[in-house]
Amino acid sequence: MKRSNTGTVDRSSDISAWSRRMSLVVAAVSAAVLVLGWGAGIDFLRRIRPDFAAMVPSTTICFMLLSAGVFMQTRMDGRLVQTICAILAGAIAAVDLVVRVASNRGGIDDFFVSSLPSGDGMAFATAACVILASYSLGALAWSNSSNPRAFQWPATLGLLAAMVALVGYAFDTRALYGVFVFTAMALHTALLFLLLFIGLLLVAPRQTWIGILIGSEPGSLGARRLFPLVALAPVALCFVALQLTDAGIFNANFRLSVLAIAMTALASGAVLRNGYLENRADRSRARLMRDLESTSAERALLLKELYHRVKNNLQQINAMLRIEARKVDDPHLSTAFQSISDRIAALGVVHQLLISAPTPSEVEVEAFLTDLCRGLAASHGLERRDIALEIEADPGRAHIEVAISMGLLVNELVTNSIKHAFGDGPGTIVVRYEERPDCLALSVSDDGAGGAWTIDSGGTGSLIIRSMVSQLKADLQTWDRDGMYVEVTMPRDINQLDRYE
Amino acid sequence: MSRATIVIVEDDFLIAEDLRGMCEEFGASVLGMAHAADEAFAVIEKAKPQYVLMDVRLGGKRDGVDIAQQVYDAMPETKLIFITGSNEPPTIERIKQDHPFRILIKPISPRELSEAITS
């Protein structure tokens, strides 16, 4: 992904360079027409052929202004210059139009060029194109994030108008001059408009339809292949049809039938090709999705397998401990073995639950505490001793590491209560998990004698409790009132902390 | 009371040894141990124990519940004590169709086991 992005960025800046080159060509040619054509009187520069329309001075000035504007746009800092260029060019074209309509003269050039042949002047189409270019340039200069593409429409419209003029020259110049609006648009005016509008579109190609052509996605690839055909074939077809008609092989109306069918075939071909490409892209996308899904499923399976192995290993460690413990007669040592065995079992419960957990590294707190306490109750024979171990948990999940720490904590706290609170009598121990607005609270309370335990007792159990409280970034509070009450409050976001950075 | 006789079916050797230790601690006699589903029925049939400690997961295609069905069909008087790592309803449901004498959820304590066998 990254690489292709960089690639298109590079291509964009290459394209902007083309935009600059085109504006320089437009400026140079129009300056030459003004200075050498009108100034030095070289007629070829004014009208290419004696029977063609001329590019009048006002048009050359408009071109110079507009190309300067395009050039400034690619420099990023020329917004003001550019706006002035656009306004001036637009104003010249607008005034020319008004003068032509209001008076019967050949536009504003009539006022400045004494030797202007009658019929010469800025064509309506030329004036319209200048106005479109000015508007596009202005839109580009003041484009904002809400509508960054606005400039492309006038530029595209102008491009099409210039192309109509050019194709008209190629097919039948007289026919072109017969159309009122195009009368007197010079050949090189049309060419310069072509360059100017392409240059305009290339200033920010990503914001125009050109972006589709230069992109790296499959759609762009297909469009690049099809576009030249679709763009050029109709012109070529029409040209051939025209030649055939002129040669007397077709008559004008039959030519229309042939053209209609040819265009239909061309457009249908393009549509079908597009459909084919889209189908192919969709198939490859579907294949990719399947691969991804199966990879993801394999990962999940692997993770469950891993949890299973960890759980089995913990059970094996436990088995070895108990096998060893049976060989010792010292009750003190037996108790120590029992404690270690319980702690390992507490670790095992987390992995046991993770095997069937819907999310790969989280366990349901209530199920977790229930399984943990069931193990403790079995291990210490609580049923026989008439000690109830109750769970009250808010619904919620805990990350594997949080669950492990909580499990070791609860294991120690409950074991403490079992050992110290009740003597030989019955009692109740409550393990509570609450998701409060400001924290997560885990508490263990009993209704026993109390006072039998402090956090600073120096035993392994106390060490584990202190370690787990720190690990959970938690605070621990104890109350000794009608039994022991120990509460551990963890930060609310403890399950969201990044652990694998 | 005469000594209870037991066969242990558990694929993990260490855990099987732990179970044997537990059983012997409270005076039961372990007649045999099987570590795979394929050999389990043969061991049980030969030893004819009063109790079978049956781990549900045996690491093969057939699990403890399948073996238990076979044992029940052949020797209905055998008391089947299932040991399972999970208390998930589907597993428990399957076990319950298999005429269990007891279901113990891991981790099991010596006390639980002794209560199951001496009750």
- Whether B18 sits inside 8 A of A311 (CB atoms) is no
Closest-CA residue to A343 (of B65, B107, B99) = B107
Do the chains contact at B12 and A375, CB–CB below 8 Å?
Answer: no
- Whether B86 and chain A come into contact, CB under 8 Å, resolves to yes
Q: Does A312 touch chain B (CB under 8 A)?
A: yes
Q: Please spell the DSSP secondary structure of A175-223, one letter per residue.
A: HHHTSGGGTT--HHHHHHHHHHHHHHHHHSGGGSTHHHHH--SHHHHHH
A407 touches chain B (CB under 8 A): no
CB of A324 within 8 A of CB of B23? no
Characterize A275-294 residue by residue with b for buried, 16 or more Cβ atoms within 10 angstroms of its Cβ, and e for exposed. Answer: eebeeeeeeeeeeeeeeeee
Quick one: pLDDT at residue A52? 85
In this prediction, residue A451 has a pLDDT band, given cuts at 50, 70 and 90, of low
- Is A370 an interface residue toward B (CB < 8 Å)? no
Exposure of A159 in the CB half-sphere (CA atoms within 13 A)? 17
pLDDT band at A1 (very low <50, low <70, confident <90, very high): very low
Residue A444: pLDDT band with limits 50, 70, 90: very high
- Partners of A315 on chain B (C-beta within 8 Å) are 12, 15, 106-107
Q: Cβ atoms within 10 A of the Cβ of A83, count? A: 17
The residue of chain A with its CA nearest to that of B85 is A352
Model confidence band, residue A410 (pLDDT cutoffs 50, 70, 90): very high
Are B21 and A323 an interchain contact pair (Cβ–Cβ within 8 Å)? yes
Q: Chain B: give the shortest CA distance to residue A455, in Å.
A: 28
pLDDT at residue number A432: 96
Pairwise CB contact (< 8 Å): A318 & B18: yes
User: Based on the number of CB atoms within 10 Å of its own CB, is A299 exposed (0-12), middle (13-18) or buried (19 or more)?
Assistant: exposed
Q: Who's near A195: CB < 8 A, 6+ residues apart? A: A22, A25, A26
Q: Which two tokens stand for residue A145?
A: 């994030």
For residue A282 the two structure tokens come to 């969709």
Return the structure tokens found at A244. 């055939």
Average pLDDT over residues A82-99: 91
CB proximity A69 to B under 8 Å: no
Is A313 near chain B, with CB under 8 Å?
A: no
Give the pLDDT band (50/70/90) at residue A8: very low
Q: Given an 8 Å threshold on Cβ–Cβ distance, is A311 in contact with B111? A: no
Inter-chain CB proximity A348 and B107 less than 8 Å:
yes
Secondary structure class of A388 (helix, strand, coil)? strand
Residue A130 vs residue A254, higher pLDDT = A130
pLDDT-wise least confident of A10-14, A157-161, A164-168, A332-336: A10-14
Token pair belonging to B42: 């043969």
Spatial strand order in the sheet of B79-84? B29-34, B5-9, B51-55, B79-84, B102-105
Residue A130 pLDDT > 60: yes
Q: What's the pLDDT tens digit per position in B54-89?
A: 998 887 788 888 899 999 999 999 999 998 876 667
Mean pLDDT within A33-58: 87
pLDDT in the model for residue A300: 86
**Cα dihedral sign, A389-A394-A397-A401:** negative
CB–CB contact B21 A326 (8 Å): yes
Question: How many Å apart are CA A9 and CA A205, to the nearest integer?
Answer: 11
B-chain residues within 8 Å CB-CB of A345? 107
- A258, A241 in Cβ contact below 8 A? yes
Count the Cβ atoms, other than its own, within 10 Å of residue A119: 11
- Closest CB to A326: pick one of B25, B107, B109: B25
Residue of chain B minimizing CA distance to A345: B107
Q: Is A2's pLDDT higher than 70?
A: no
A39 secondary structure, DSSP code = I
Instruction: Look at B109 and A381 and tell me if their CB atoms are within 8 Å.
Output: yes
**Residue A232, pLDDT above cutoff 60:** yes
Q: How far apart are CA A452 and CA A6, in angstroms?
A: 68
Task: Give per-residue pLDDT as tens, A148-185.
Answer: 788 899 999 999 999 988 988 888 877 777 776 666 68
- What's the rounded Cα separation, in Å, for the pair A420 and A413? 11
Residue of higher predicted confidence among B51 and A231: B51
Q: List all residues 6 or more positions away from A272 whose beta carbon is below 8 Å from its beta carbon.
A: none
Tokens 């050109």, located at residue:
A210
* CA quadruple A165, A92, A50, A38: dihedral sign: negative
Residue A387, pLDDT score: 93
Which residues of chain B does A374 touch, with a Cβ-Cβ cutoff of 8 Å?
105
Task: For chain B, say whether A328 makes contact (Cβ under 8 Å).
Answer: no
Contacts with A322 from chain B: Cβ below 8 Å: 18, 21-22
Place of tokens 């948990």: A393
Question: Nearest CB to A315: which of B15, B21, B111?
Answer: B15
B118 in contact with chain A, both atoms CB, cutoff 8 A: no
- For chain A, percent of residues with pLDDT exceeding 70: 92
| pLDDT category of residue A379 using cuts at 50, 70 and 90 | confident
A146 pLDDT band, cuts 50/70/90, is confident
| Cβ–Cβ < 8 Å for A204, A140 | yes
What is the pTM assigned to this prediction? 0.61
Instruction: Report the sign of the C-alpha dihedral through residues A178, A180, A182, A186, in that order.
Output: positive
Q: Give percent helix, percent strand, percent coil of chain A, each to the nearest 5.
A: 70, 10, 25
Determine the average pLDDT of the residues in A276-284.
Answer: 88
Asked if B15 and A352 come within 8 Å (Cβ–Cβ), the reply is: no
Mean pLDDT over residues A54-77, rounded? Answer: 86
Residue A61: the pLDDT is 93
Task: Judge contact between A361 and A339, C-beta under 8 A.
Answer: no
Confidence label for A253 from pLDDT (cuts 50, 70 and 90):
confident
Whether ipTM exceeds 0.85: no
- B21 closest CB neighbour out of A316, A322, A379: A322
Partner A contacted by B114 (CB < 8 A): no
Subunit contact B107:A356, Cβ cutoff 8 A: no
CA A338 to chain centre: 57
CA distance A276 to A282: 10
Q: How close does chain B come to A364, measured CA to CA in Å?
A: 14
Overall average pLDDT of the A236-244 stretch: 87
Q: Which two tokens stand for residue A375?
A: 């193990």
- Structure confidence at residue A9 (pLDDT): 47
CA dihedral (A75, A80, A84, A90) in degrees, to 10, reads: 70
- Rg of chain A over all Cα atoms, to the nearest angstrom: 43
Q: How far from the centroid of its chain's Cα atoms is residue B63's Cα? A: 12
pLDDT at residue number A169? 87
Q: Which residues of A touch B116 (CB under 8 A)?
A: none
CA B50 vs CA A11, A138, A165: distances in Å? 82, 97, 105
B107/A375 Cβ within 8 A: yes
C-alpha closest to that of B84 among B105, B99, B54: B105
> Is the separation of the CB atoms in B84 and B91 below 8 Å?
yes
A7 pLDDT more than 60: no
Is a pLDDT exceeding 90 seen at residue B32?
yes
The β-bridge relationship of strands A397-399 and A439-446 is unpaired
Longest alpha-carbon distance in chain B: 38
Residue A366: pLDDT above 80? yes
B21 touches chain A (CB under 8 A): yes
Cβ count within 10 A of residue A327: 8
A436, with CB counted inside 10 A (0-12, 13-18, 19+), is exposed
Q: Name the 3-class secondary structure at A145.
A: coil
Shortest distance, CA A147 to any CA of chain B (angstroms): 58
Return the CATH fold of A361-491: Heat Shock Protein 90 (3.30.565)
Nearest alpha carbon to residue A242 among A289, A292, A175: A175
Edge-to-edge, what's the strand order for the sheet holding A387-393? Answer: A387-393, A427-435, A439-446, A484-491, A475-480
Alpha carbon distance A387, A68 (integer Å): 92
Residue B80 pairs in a beta bridge with: B52
Tell me whether residues B111 and A378 touch, CB distance under 8 A: yes
Q: Which domains, and CATH codes, for chain B?
A: 5-47+54-84+91-108 (3.40.50.2300)
State residue B86's pLDDT score. Answer: 66
